[in-house]
Amino acid sequence: DVKVTQSSRYLVKRTGEKVFLECVQDMDHENMFWYRQDPGLGLRLIYFSYDVKMKEKGDIPEGYSVSREKKERFSLILESASTNQTSMYLCASSYAQGAQGLFGPGTRLTVT
C-alpha cells in the first residue's frame, strides 16, 4: 500500500527552538510539497521540490527552509519557531508534474 508518512502526528515546541518536520514517501515520486493549513485559509504552499536537491518557494516561505537530500525524503525546517507557526502541516507527493497528489496524515505543531 503506497503512502506518504510524516514523522509525528502531534508536536509541541517552545518559541525559538529549531524544529524539523520529516516527510517520507515510498513511491519513487519526483515531486514533494509542504503546506500549512489554518482555519478559513485552506492549504498554503510553503515549499516544493521537483527533484533531489531542488527546491522552490511557495506562497509563504518566510521562516521556513527545506531539505531534500534523498528522493524519498523532504524535510521542513523551522529555523526559530514562533507562535504564529502553530498550525497543521501537510506533506504531499506526486509521481511527476501533472500527476495525482497523495497526502500524508499531517503534523499538528503547537509552538508555546
Partner 1 sequence: KQEVTQIPAALSVPEGENLVLNCSFTDSAIYNLQWFRQDPGKGLTSLLLIQSSQREQTSGRLNASLDKSSGRSTLYIAASQPGDSATYLCAVGNDMRFGAGTRLTVKP
Pairing of strands 10-13, 107-111: parallel
Q: How far is the CB of 98 from partner 1 (least distance, A)?
A: 4
What's the min distance (Å) between Cβ of 43 and partner 1?
A: 4
Q: Name the minimum Å distance from CB 15 to partner 1.
A: 26
Least distance in Å: CB of 100 to partner 1?
A: 5
Q: What is the dihedral of CA 19, 25, 28, 34, to 10 degrees?
A: -50
Nearest to 78, CA basis, from 33, 29, 13, 4: 13
- Please tell me whether residue 90 binds partner 1 under the rule CB under 8 A: yes
| Phi, psi (deg, nearest 5) at residue 74 | -135, 115
- In the bound state with partner 1, the residue whose beta carbon lies nearer, of 42 and 69, is 42
Among the listed residues 19, 36, 48, 66, the single contact to partner 1 using CB under 8 A: 48
Which positions lie near partner 1, rule CB under 8 A? 31, 33, 35, 40-45, 48, 56, 58-59, 90, 92, 94, 97-106
